[in-house]
């Protein structure tokens, strides 16, 4: 969790709401390197190939029936 906070803190001088009027995509573009360095996958744009679709409900044969689009995603490798 500390690394996540540090990723945002490292770019605070570029994303501070009191100084800048950035869109969420603008903020994400600046924090992306830090998040990716922690192992996150980060959305790169709005085209179909750049969006991170995260399945949340699976139907027959494991086909995703419901999903959401995430700005960033950290896939846990070990669930033990």
In this predicted model, what pLDDT tens digit does every residue of 23-39 receive, in sequence order? 999 999 999 999 999 99
- Is the distance from CB of 44 to CB of 50 less than 8 angstroms? yes
Q: Where are the domains of the chain?
A: 2-73
Widest distance between CA atoms in the chain: 50
Mean pLDDT for the stretch of residues 61-69? 93
Backbone conformation region of residue 39, classed left if phi is above 0, alpha if psi is from -120 to 50, else beta:
left
* β-sheet bridge partners, residue 54: 68
Given a cut of 80, whether residue 1 has pLDDT beyond it is: no
Distance CA 71, CA 45 (A): 9
**What would the two tokens of residue 11 be?**
């770019």
- Is the torsion defined by CA of 76, 48, 37, 19 positive or negative? negative
């Amino acid at each position: 969790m500390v690394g996540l906070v540090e990723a945002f803190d490292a770019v605070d001088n570029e994303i501070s709401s009191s100084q800048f009027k950035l869109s969420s995509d603008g903020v994400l573009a600046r924090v992306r390197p830090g998040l990716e360095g922690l192992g996150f996958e980060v959305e790169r744009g709005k085209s179909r190939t750049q969006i991170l679709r995260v399945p949340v409900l699976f139907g027959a044969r494991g086909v995703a029936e419901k999903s959401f689009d995430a700005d960033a995603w950290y896939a846990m490798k070990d669930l033990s």
